[in-house]
Structure 1
Amino acid sequence: MGLLLNYQWEIFIALEIISVLSLLIFGVVRYFFNKQKRSLLFLLLFIILLILEALLGLMIYQETGEISTFLIIITVFVLYACTFGIFDFMKLDRWMRQKIGNWRGVQLLTEKDIRIMDRQKDPKYIAKKYRRSSTVHLIIFASLQAAFWIYGTGGTSELLDYLKDLSWIGTENVAETPYANDTIYRISMIWGLIFIIDFIWSWSYTIFPASKKN
């Protein structure tokens, strides 16, 4: 266990690198060499590596008993892979079929794939998609933060005071915050930073729309 604690970041990064490579090799084997069944082995490898990442986080937590930055990051990666990562993989899969198909001189994309790829080049569609995702993120973030604050303060009477005076943000003393404990506070601070960046990035497609790609 000491080895895992000492090299947790190195192990996690290695697993991530191998995971990405397994997806790329999946595409090469499946679409370049046309080995449908063998390609599934690399997809299976990706799933196994994802499970190993989750187990790594669980083992680290059981050993330390605390929600560390490492555990938060590994949780985010695993959750992403199980949610939004699926759609990104589908996008990667279409991209690999397009590129490898061009190299082989064959059409590996279906008509539906082509329509989807054309639509994803439309700035209006892109802006609309990001507006929706950012709105969903806002609702989830605000709802859970409200729940955390109510849980931490024991009611709603103190919420307005914390909203009026945000000087507690960034403090090392969790007692000065509306959160019940240090774990929830740290998670919320990291999530808040991610939310702000994501929200600004998402709405930039609406405020500063790009020209349609060819």
Structure 2
Amino acid sequence: MSFLYAHGWGLFIVSEGLTWVAGLMFFVTRYGFRFNRLSQCFLYCIILFTIFQGLLAGINYLNTGQVSLLQVVIILFIIYAATLGSSDFERLDLYIKQKVNKYRHPNQSDRKYVDTSAYLKQRQLLFILHTTVFIGVHLLLFAFHFNDFIFFYLREWVQHPHQGLFQHSLINIISYVWSIIYIFDLYFYLTNAFIWWCSKLNS
């Protein structure tokens, strides 16, 4: 347990990298070599890596007794994997299936066409709405709770979620978690935009 706590960040990064490798191998074995049973094994690996990350978050909390950046990041990764990540993975699976079928059977049409442009527009609207609410709420919080006599550096805020720019620790924690969620939303929005742009270049 002490080893897992001492190397929490490193083990999380390694497990997340292995998760992406397992996802890549799922598509390679499923569509490249048509090994459906082997591809299912890589799905199980993804689930096991996710469970391991949850274990890392639990061990970190038991050792510190406080909310930390590692715990928040792991929990957000797990929430994404269980919600938007699952739908994005299914959409990517169907998209690759279309491309493979089109390559192997050019004369056949696939009825389950993935409209990537419509999906990106939907995510764009959600991201704009999230950005507007995020900025608006934080401006209101600054207006009512900003303390002119106390200044916190970013490093201290990252290490201590209960501290921050506001007078109340609960508001600081909410702002802390929400900021990380927003960064995640920005990252995955840009990722989807990049995938859509690459698909347009290849079409």
- TM-score band by shorter chain is 0.5 to 0.7
Call closer, same or farther: CA 1:186–1:27 in 2, change over 3 Å: same
Matching residue of 2:14? 14
Which of 114, 118, 121 aligns to 2:117? It is 121
* Structure 1 segments unaligned to the other structure (5+ residues): 147-159, 203-209
Verify: 1:195 aligned to 2:160, yes or no.
no
Q: Does residue 1:185 correspond to 2:172, yes or no?
A: yes
TM-score, with length taken from structure 2 = 0.68
- Could you say if the C-alpha distance between residues 6 and 102 of structure 1 is closer, same or farther in structure 2, counting changes exceeding 3 Å? farther
For the 8 Å contact 2:23–2:43, the answer to whether it is kept is yes
Compute the RMSD of aligned alpha carbons: 4.0
Q: After TM superposition, list the pairs within 5 Å mapping 1:25-174 onto structure 2.
A: 25-98=25-98, 100-101=100-101, 105-106=104-105, 110-112=110-112, 114=113, 116=114, 119-121=115-117, 126-135=120-129, 163-164=143-144, 166-167=146-147, 171=152, 174=163
- State the alpha-carbon separation in 2 of the partners of residues 161 and 136 from structure 1: 16
8 Å contact kept, 2:164–2:172? no
Distance 1:161 1:24 in 2: 43
Higher relative contact order (CA 8 A, sep 6+): 1
Gapped runs of 5+ residues in structure 2?
154-161, 190-196
Identity in percent: 27
How far, CA to CA, are the matches of 1:161 and 1:70 in structure 2? Answer: 25
Query: SS at 1:171's partner residue?
Result: coil
Q: Quick one: structure 1 residues 59 and 137, their matched pair in 2 at CA, closer, same or farther if it must change by over 3 Å? A: farther
Deviations 1:19-41 (A, max 9, x none): 11111111111112212222111
Give the total of aligned pairs. 182
Q: Which has the larger radius of gyration?
A: 1
